[in-house]
Structure 1
Amino acid sequence: MDRERLMKMAGAVRTGGKGSMRRKKKAIHRATTTDDKRLQSTLKRIGVNTIPAIEEVNIFKDDAVIQFLNPKVQASIAANTWVVSGSPQTKKLQDILPGIINQLGPDNLDNLRKLAEQFQKQQPPAGAQATQEEDDDEVPELVAGETFETAAEDGHTHTS
C-alpha cells in the first residue's frame, strides 16, 4: 500500500491526540443478568410467592399450546400476576390432547367439545378417503390385443 493512503486512513480513525480531552463517561456494557435481577426485585415488590411441586404448565393459544415441563411458578393473587419460567415448547393441541383430558375441569370440557367439532369439520369424511384409496388399488382393465411387452416395444401406452 501507499504510505500517503495509509496516513489518510489513520487520520480518519484518530479521535484525539496529545493534549486532547479525555472521555467524560466510560461506556457501561450491561450483562443480561442485570435484567433478571431487576425483574426479580420488581416481583418481590409485588409480593409473589413461589408455588412448589408444579410438574407442567400449558398455555392455550388459538392454534397451538405452549407447554412448560417442570417450570418455576410464582404467583401474586392480589396483583393478579402469574410468572412461569422455564424452557417452553410449542406444540399442536392434537399432540398433547389425550394426556391433558384428566387435567381439564367441567368448564373446559365444553371448550374441548367445540374444538373436536372444529377438527371434524376440517378433516374430510372417512368415506371419501376410503373410496379414493379403493380407486387407486384397482387394476385397470386390459385392452384386447395389447400386452405390456408390445406397448413397451412400440414406446407408447394405451389408456382407456
Structure 2
Amino acid sequence: MNREKLMKMAGSVRTGGKGTMRRKHKAVHKTTSTDDKRLQSTLKRIGVNTIPAIEEVNIFKDDSIIQFTNPKVQASVAANTWVVSGTPQTKRLQDVLPGVFNQLGADNLDNLKKLAEQFQKQGMAREGGAAAAQEDDDEVPELVAGETFEAAAEEGHATS
C-alpha cells in the first residue's frame, strides 16, 4: 500500500476536521429505555395496579416452570391483563414440584391433581396409541337413544 492510499483511508474515519482524533469504535445507542417508556405508558392507559407482597410467581409450561422470585406484579381485571416483571429462571417440573406442592395448600390440591392427569395424558399421547385417542373422545357426551338436538331444543322452548 502506498502512503496516499493510507492517508485517504485515514481521512474517511475522522469525526471532525484535520487534526482531530479518530474515533476508537462506533457508539451503539441502546433503545431499551424508549421501549420501556412505551410499555409503561401503555400499561398506564390500560389501568394496571400494582399488587404488593407477592414473593414468587410460577408459570407452568409443558415440562418446565418459569419461576420469578420477588417479582413486580401488576394487574388490570377490566383488561384481563397480568404483568410480571423480574428476573426469570426456567427449571424442570420434576425438580421444582415438591417445593410448589408445599406452597399450594389444601384448597388447590384438586387443581394439582387435574394438572397431573393432563400431564399423564400428554405422556400417553406422545407414546402414541389408539387408547389415548379414545380417552379424548370421552369428553363429548353421547346422545340419548331416540332423541335429537332439535327435539331437545323444542322441549326447552315449550317448558319456558
Whether TM exceeds 0.5 here: the answer is: yes
Deviation of 1:98 (Å): 1.0
CA distance in 2, matches of 1:117, 1:101: 20
Q: How many residues align?
A: 112
Aligned to 2:45: 45
Q: Return the index of the structure with the highest Cα Rg.
A: 1
Deviation of 1:38 (Å): 1.5
CA distance in 1, matches of 2:93, 2:63: 7
Aligned to 1:60: 60
Partner of residue 111 from structure 1, selected from 99, 102, 115: 115
CA RMSD, 1 decimal? 3.3
CA distance in 2, matches of 1:105, 1:93: 17
Gaps (5+ residues) in structure 2?
18-28, 127-160
CA distance in 2, matches of 1:8, 1:33: 38
CA distance in 1, matches of 2:36, 2:114: 39
Encode CA deviations 1:96-116: one digit per residue, 9 max, x unaligned: 111212414423322224436
What is the letter of the counterpart of residue 106 of structure 1? D
TM-score (norm 2): 0.56
Aligned to 1:136: none
Gaps (5+ residues) in structure 1?
18-28, 123-160
CA distance in 1, matches of 2:118, 2:13: 67
Equivalent positions of 1:1-150 (< 5 A) are 2-9=2-9, 29-102=29-102, 103=104, 104-115=108-119
TM-score (norm 1): 0.56
- Is the partner of 1:84 in helix, strand or coil? strand
